[in-house]
Amino acid sequence: MTDTVNTLEALFKDQNILVIDDEQNMRHMLNSMLKTYGFHVDTAPDGVHALEMVKKKSYDFILCDMKMPNMGGMEFLKAAKSNVAASTVIMMSAYGSLDNTIEAMKLGAYDYISKPFKSDEVCLTLKKAEEREHLKKENIQLKERISKIEASNNFGSMIAKSKAMQSIFKLAVKVSQYNTTVLITGESGTGKELIAKGLHFSGTRAKKAFVPINCGGIPENLLESEFFGHVRGAFTGAEKAKKGLFEEADHGTIFLDEIGELPITLQVKLLRVLQENEVRRIGDSKLRTVDVRVIAATSKNLEEEVSDGNFRQDLFYRLNVLPIKLPALRVRTEDIPLLCQHFIEKIGKALNKRIDSVAPDAMSVLLKHSWPGNVRELENAIERAAVLTDETILTIDNFPPELLEKTESNRMNEIFDGYSIKAGQKILEKMMIKKALTATDGNRSKATRLLEISHPSLLNKIKAYDIDA
């Protein structure tokens, strides 16, 4: 019993509680018992007195009798609603009924105890209420923390704190205010569509349509109709006229994802739309004017595609007015903890599960993984772990086994895709320079000392390897 009292005292120490009951013996008994648990106790003989007390002082808990002279429990709850919104109210009555209980809950009460009751019942009810309030406060604090993080480290629905991504966010904020054509490049899963949506919904066209189209996901023979539309009878199966996606996006934005997959034949027609702001439906002689902002994205190197004859040079220059290159997750590992917390909040809400964080040893594994699928792969890994866990912390056992199998030699084999010593040397040099710049927070003088090379040599290599520094 002594251990129980000590536990409750630690739980409730210095919390305020108000006991409202018209029976003096009940007030006296609860006053004595609650003080042993560490509460600061006030008492009131009815709702009228209690109403005046809650106007002057805030209470963590309120024990309120249902039937009292002058003003009963229900009337008190209605009258004191704004003053007890932050209090945990527990009703007491010898005339308990389901209707009364439901009504009390609707008015803001947390629980209901039937008289006569044992002291253990009061203890258990208060303990449950305190645990609930503690969880609520933790959840609110977590949400506030996430909101603050996202407010200072986000663009659209993307979040990051790395120097590279912060530079991209600043650029994107500026670009979003204009109708300039943008070409977003980066590996699969780096968030190209999220940047495109951010550009649209942060800009002047936000209230108009955002129309995405995957240029590699539509059969070649249907692409022209999808882009520009057709008139009735233009081809077999064209039973009625159809608007193209450019017309659907009029006054808004069209997002051409995987533009590198676009067939050469359609590249010519797309170039005309970009130059003239006009489209012609298949089978129609009429030109239609469109006002569309174009944002394109690709995981391919379009300059190489131009050299290989797979992409028109004039179209590349027309699209590449303002390029945005998204870095792979493996070169901005400082964003991984922030992204993990963001996905935990998002996925936990979707699964209706309370998940607080990733265990330190699991986070260490996540930081070392090469993430070939980038942010999308990380989100999938967090979702899998969230589904499998029975705890509030994600552990190593919850994550895909392949994450644990990635040794340094595995990673080096992935990096050195080939047998050329010269190519391997360049890749290693680039990695070491990035590592040194990250360790010195971009201080090139300090980085030269770590790398044991001259300052001019470092500048030349930064330029040659296209390092964002």
Specify whether 309 is located in the same domain as 176. yes
Closest CA relative to residue 10, chosen from 93, 134, 100, 112: 134
Please check the confidence at residue 141 and state whether its pLDDT lies above 70. no
Owning domain of residue 389: 329-409
Distance between CA atoms of residues 186 and 188, nearest Å: 7
Considering the domain architecture, whether residues 11 and 81 belong to the same structural domain is answered as yes
Long-range CB pairs of 463-467, under 8 A, 24+ apart, other chains included? 465/426, 465/429, 465/430, 465/433, 467/430, 467/433, 467/434, 467/437
Residue 184 is predicted with a pLDDT of 97
pLDDT digits (tens, 9 = 90+) for 315-363: 999 999 999 999 999 999 999 999 999 999 999 999 999 999 998 888 9
Give yes or no: residues 177 and 309 share one domain.
yes
Q: How many domains does the chain have?
A: 4
Instruction: Please calculate the CA angle 300-305-308 and round it to the nearest 5 degrees.
Output: 150
Q: pLDDT at position 149, please?
A: 46
pLDDT score recorded for residue 97 = 65
* CATH code, domain with 199: 3.40.50.300
- Same domain, residue pair 8 and 128: yes
DSSP string of 33-90, one letter each residue:
HHHHTT-EEEEESSHHHHHHHHHHS--SEEEEESS-SSS-HHHHHHHTTTTSTTSEEE
Overall pTM surpassing 0.75 (yes/no): no
Q: Same domain for 294 and 337?
A: no
For residue 152, being part of any structural domain is answered with no
Give the CATH number for residue 70.
3.40.50.2300
For residue 129, being part of any structural domain is answered with yes
| Greatest mean pLDDT range, 112-126, 211-225, 250-264 | 250-264
pLDDT digits (tens, 9 = 90+) for 240-284: 888 889 999 999 999 999 999 999 989 999 999 999 999 999 988
- Residue 257 contacts residue 245 (beta carbons within 8 Å): no
Whole-angstrom distance, CA of residue 14 vs CA of residue 121? 21
Same domain, 206 and 277: yes
Q: Tell me, what CATH number does 436's domain have?
A: 1.10.10
Q: For 434-457, give the DSSP string.
A: HHHHHHTTT-HHHHHHHHT--HHH
Average pLDDT over residues 388-415: 72
In a domain, 172, yes or no: yes
User: 165-176: per-residue pLDDT in tens?
Assistant: 999 998 998 899
> In the listed set 281, 306, 325, which residue is the last one of a domain according to the structure?
325
**Are 254 and 282 in the same domain?**
yes
**Does residue 155 lie in a domain region?**
no
Residue 156 lies in a domain: no
Q: Are residues 188 and 296 in the same domain?
A: yes
Q: Which amino acid is at 118?
A: K
* Residue 154 maps to a domain: no
469 falls within a domain:
no
Q: Is residue 358 in some structural domain?
A: yes
Same domain, 293 and 171: yes
Same domain, 89 and 116: yes
In a shared domain, residues 78 and 206: no
The percentage of residues in the chain with a pLDDT greater than 70, rounded to a whole number, is: 90
Alpha helices in 97-241 (DSSP H): 98-106, 119-152, 163-175, 192-201, 220-228
CA atoms of 438 and 414, how far apart (whole Å): 22
* 358 to 129, 329, 430: CA distances (angstroms): 28, 18, 31
User: What's the farthest any 2 CA atoms get from each other in the chain?
Assistant: 95
User: Which residues lie closer than 8 Å to 398 by C-beta, 6 or more apart?
Assistant: 362, 384, 385, 386, 388, 389
How far is the C-alpha of 13 from the C-alpha of 132, rounded, in Å?
17
